[in-house]
Structure 1
Amino acid sequence: MASHGLPRPATTTQRTEEELKEEQRQIQEYRDLEDLIRTKIAERQYTVEVLQLTSKLLKKNPEYYTIWNVRRRLLIHGFFSKPSDSSSLSKELPNTSTTATIKASSTDLSSSPSNTTATATTIPHNPASRNHGSNGTTLDLIRADLEFLFPIMLSYPKCYWVWNYRLWLLQQANQRLEPDIARELWSGELKLVSKMLVKDSRNFHGWGYRRKVVSELESAALHGKSMTEAEFEYTTKMITSPKGLSNFSAFHRRSKLIPKLLDERGADDQARRLFLEEEFDMIFSAMYTDSYPYAQSAWFYYQFLMTTLTDPVGHAIITPDFTPEERVEFVIRQLADLVEMLDGAEDNKWIYNALIEYTLDLSQMEERQPRLDEKQDCKLWLAELRKLDPLRNGRWDDLELFLEDVPLRPRDI
């Protein structure tokens, strides 16, 4: 099994008796650790010791979302304290800085959880204790915990709970720190997620995280401004990179940026028409240049562009003021380009599918039934689709019915 082309190591090898015993020992250690954390949290021991215990458990199992919630409670009620409440933490660790305290929590305890004593001072439950200062322990705690998360993210880049917890930390920065300092943390996140998307450019968790980071950096609360142009250029870079045509997330992000981009540019009808032409040229050029007209994600983006012309209601986000005649003209040109692309790519089902769909759309845009020559072409393309994609014979049967004047739109099938 592989994930985005990255092979996973086999886990079904035969194990020795010693390995099985070691596995049982690790299971018991895990259960002891889990029980110890539950006991201490039930007693409201919001201490450095318990923070270290959560670090040890989360490095073993970052999918354990309850422990992430425990860690949130530890920080809120035990460490994000008012200056007047910080004395209890200082007495607990008289020779240790706050940053070092949290960094220490990312290392495994040398002793077994069953042998760990509960001698640390318990910090009382105090939901009101918060530090809204721009420096000091709160900033150090957030930075150190972000560092703790980094190796876990590298090992488990698709774990929802790691991403969610990281966002929570940064939202705490928004609430507790000065805007300029919080903005520095979010700016660092943008660099981090960019590096992670270089490692796996199709990680939809990373793309979703990037959208959130950009949204925060654009917000008035952080003295932000629009990043639409830069983000649009970023999608261009990712799409035109090696294997970029298979990047669903980059195409999706691009489609969502387009309306905002054109509005911010104050684009008139001529500029919007030119933009649409450039997008069609970009997708066709990428397919031809990379010899990659088989990328499903690229065809989905092409379909998105075409819906801005063919759909009668609510989808004209690029050229809202196009006349019906201008839309028809565009569709006719695209059909000609698709026929040209078919030369040399006769085994590409996506081209046949697009030719049928937009030929039938064209007839509906012109408020007429398909002409005899259009029906004949569609039947020929449909015959090729049956050969190339026999698993969708039900869909092809419905398309054939449509060609016999059944009143359905092709995408309604």
Structure 2
Amino acid sequence: MASHGIPRSSTTEPKTEQARLKEQEQIQEYTALVDLIDAKIAERQYTREVLDLTSKLLKKNPENYTIWNVRRRLLIHGLFSKQSDSSLPLTESQSFSPGATTTTSSANLSSSATTSWASKETLPNRASPIPGKNGTTHDLIKGDLDFIFPLMIEYPKCYWIWNYRLWLLDQAIDRLEVDVARELWSRELALVGKMLNRDSRNFHGWAYRRGVISQLESSKLHGRSMVESEFGYTTKMVKAHLSNFSAWHYRSKLIPRLLTERAASDLERYQFLNNEFELITNAIYADAYPYAQSVWFYYQFLMSTIVDEVGHAIITPNLTDEDRIEYATKQLVNLRDMLDGAEDCKWIYNALLEYTLALSRMQNRQPLEVDKEECRSWLAELRKLDPLRSGRWDDVEKSLKWLDVDSRFAPESGGPIEL
């Protein structure tokens, strides 16, 4: 199998006896290591030695989310608060000073990965970084970030690695000077850029990038808006690889902020919409991309700003109904042109069907007879090109029949003709 062009090794080949014995030995070693860590944590031995044991285990299995939580505990209750010359283990009660304050730490790339004890911890004064056994709090955080990097390369889709990394960087905000913490977060943005260059469609990497940008923009790090540079980044990424769901999605989420921060006039917003349609239309016409689902999803997003009810027009909210109707009509003409040479592309038929019905709804009328005939023709093509969705096409066909027999299902009433 392959994921985004990255091959995976087969796991179905039969094992030799030698390989089976070696695997059994590895399982025993792994189980013994887990038991050893559990025993030391039960005794509250929050030391560098135990941290190294967790590193050894995570190299074997980064999917063990319990060990990532143990690692958090080792840092919070031990090494962050331990003096550099101390070699004795600390208990939780010995790890804190009476004057410490409580803050909330967020590490939610996947909320199911966080634990209740990790969300609220007593932290030292960030103005006085406390040394750990092998250096300062900064050194511990930076060293842990460096330790994780090879794991991210080897296991780029492991939720727990991304969760823990964000948690570490949140600790930098809580425990270090602002300039020092911001340097670590800026370093992280460069790192995630390299990760996405390796696999530009890794949605974990895109979600992580959004988290990093959010922090770099925050007042906690004396940040400012990065929406312009991020929008430019999505342009670069979609042009490099048009079939990139995550990049198109991120772009759609940036647009409202981008236009607001630009204080764009109605004319500028209209031109912006034209430019986006030009971008996506060029993408659809490029090579085999009329058949790529991702570009059509972005096209649907743009069309939704035209044909949906008032409140969804995030790009051009002040277009009149007449302007929206005219725009939708032009797009239907463009869609018909796209069919020339791409008669086997289901996405074009789907769009023609959807927006023909949407146009009649916008005009507060039922579809014309010629519209209904064309819709039935397009529906027949969809049945041939996409038989796996036969149930959906059945529902659409029922909607078309209802239009013929019952005015209650007219487009303006919001009846079941919606696709």
Q: TM-score, normalised by structure 1?
A: 0.88
1:391: how far off? 1.8
Tell which has more relative contact order, 1 or 2 (C-alpha 8 A, sep 6+): 1
1:131: how far off? 5.5
In structure 2, distance between residues paired with 1:302 and 1:14: 47
- 2:68 is aligned with what amino acid? W
Spell out the pairing of 1:208-287 with structure 2 (5 A cutoff).
208-241=207-240, 244-287=241-284
1:90 aligns with 2:89: no
In structure 2, distance between residues paired with 1:43 and 1:245: 54
Stretches of structure 2 that go unaligned for 5 or more consecutive residues are 98-123
1:180 aligns with 2:179: yes
1:256: how far off? 0.5
- 2:19 is aligned with what amino acid? E
In structure 2, distance between residues paired with 1:348 and 1:49: 60
1:361: how far off? 0.4
**Quick one: which of 86, 90, 108 aligns to 1:123?**
90
* Contact map agreement 1:80 1:131 (CA 8 A) in 2: no
* Contact map agreement 1:134 1:181 (CA 8 A) in 2: no
1:360 aligns with 2:352: no
Q: TM-score, normalised by structure 2?
A: 0.87
Tell me the secondary structure at the aligned position of residue 316 of structure 1. Answer: coil
Q: Deviations over 1:279-317 (max 9, x none)?
A: 000000122133411110111110111111111142111
Spell out the pairing of 1:8-87 with structure 2 (5 A cutoff).
8-81=8-81, 85-86=82-83
- 1:66 is aligned with what amino acid? T
Spell out the pairing of 1:394-413 with structure 2 (5 A cutoff).
394-404=391-401, 405=403, 407=409, 412-413=418-419
Larger CA deviation: 209-218 vs 368-377: 368-377
Tell me the secondary structure at the aligned position of residue 122 of structure 1. Answer: coil
1:392: how far off? 1.7
In structure 2, distance between residues paired with 1:33 and 1:227: 44
In structure 1, distance between residues paired with 2:28 and 2:167: 31
In structure 2, distance between residues paired with 1:162 and 1:262: 35
1:79: how far off? 1.1
1:385: how far off? 1.0
In structure 2, distance between residues paired with 1:192 and 1:20: 38
Larger CA deviation: 378-387 vs 391-400: 391-400
- 1:128 is aligned with what amino acid? F
In structure 2, distance between residues paired with 1:24 and 1:296: 44
Tell me the secondary structure at the aligned position of residue 238 of structure 1. Answer: helix
Q: Number of matched residues?
A: 378
Aligned twin of 2:345: 348
Spell out the pairing of 1:322-401 with structure 2 (5 A cutoff).
322-401=319-398
| Closer, same or farther: CA 290–230 of 1 in aligned 2, 3 Å | farther
Identity of aligned residues (%): 64
| Closer, same or farther: CA 30–272 of 1 in aligned 2, 3 Å | same
1:264: how far off? 0.4
* Contact map agreement 1:357 1:410 (CA 8 A) in 2: no
Q: Deviations over 1:14-65 (max 9, x none)?
A: 2222221111111111111000100000000111111111011111111111
* Contact map agreement 1:361 1:409 (CA 8 A) in 2: no
1:412: how far off? 3.5
* Contact map agreement 1:131 1:138 (CA 8 A) in 2: no
Larger CA deviation: 305-314 vs 149-158: 305-314
* Contact map agreement 1:245 1:298 (CA 8 A) in 2: yes
In structure 2, distance between residues paired with 1:134 and 1:147: 23
Over the aligned positions, Cα root-mean-square deviation in angstroms equals 1.5
* Contact map agreement 2:58 2:67 (CA 8 A) in 1: yes
In structure 1, distance between residues paired with 2:183 and 2:417: 47
- 1:56 is aligned with what amino acid? K
1:127: how far off? 4.6
